[in-house]
Amino acid sequence: MTQVLLLRLAGPLQSWGSRSAFNRRETGAEPTKSGVLGLLAAAAGRSREDSLDDLLGLRLGVRVDQPGTLLRDYHTVSDYRGRPLPQSGVSAKGIQKPTSPAKYTHVTTRYYLQDAVFVAAVEGADDLLAALDGAVCAPAFPLALGRRSCPPMQPLSLGLREGDLETVLREEPWQVSDRARERYAARLGRERGLGGAFRPVRIDRSVTLEDAEGDDVVHDAPVSFDPYARSFTSRRVRHCWLSIPTGFPQPDDATTEPDSAPATGHDPFALLGW
């Protein structure tokens, strides 16, 4: 049996930048491998120049427990002295020249995920995962969900589990708040024409698993975080849906009562949080 470290990635804001162009900073719909490994490296007290060789072999799985909503953050930048903003290029002497024609305001746009909840599963060697689990519980550096302005909520570490990525993510209970869980139950009750909330045993959640035979390719695996030699490579992933425990308390005869039977089938609106 392999061992898996589970992380609950939740907070008011998250931003998992898979690409940025000029004045636009985007976020992916779920955590990237570079973001998760960067969090673990920071917890362990590693500098950006340190080798990532022992972390590169870790397999990652991400479960979307609550997708959140997209936030667009509008920024303007200007010089408080009233001077024109400098150009991005430099002169032969390495000095930035002012913009021509003069530009006094620069607009940037940044995107975040609001109120999202993910469960990240990291599979690897037992001793390495145990050390990383301890580091996450007592981090050497401040931790962030993609960007420094996005601190994580507690608990961050859900501990170590026995099994493979898919099995562990299938059996770990739903990690949303009690309020979100009850809101979901109330919606199901209305849809079924019941007089109250309907609390299923299981719910379908979207999962992305790192898989050498996967049919999708993402370019988010870090090779080096060195500011002067940052580099990334691609990895193959597989997307699927897993039926996971909701965490609702169930009566003893939940398996025999029709209204208490586990939810089956695929809910096309699940990722929207409806």
CA–CA gap between residue 38 and residue 66 (Å, rounded): 22
pLDDT digits (tens, 9 = 90+) for 111-166: 999 999 999 999 999 999 999 999 999 999 999 999 999 999 999 999 999 999 99
The confidence score (pLDDT) of residue 271 equals: 53
Least confident range from 19-23, 34-38, 159-163: namely 19-23
The confidence score (pLDDT) of residue 25 equals: 84
Q: Where are the domains of the chain?
A: 3-76+104-173+205-243
3-76+104-173+205-243 CATH choice from 3.40.50.2300, 3.90.180.10, 3.30.70.20, 3.30.70.2660:
3.30.70.2660
CA–CA gap between residue 56 and residue 236 (Å, rounded): 14
At 269, the pLDDT band (50, 70, 90 cuts) reads: low
Pair 104, 85: CB distance under 8 Å: yes
CA–CA gap between residue 66 and residue 14 (Å, rounded): 12
One-letter amino acid identity for 30?
E
Is this model's pTM higher than 0.85 or not? no
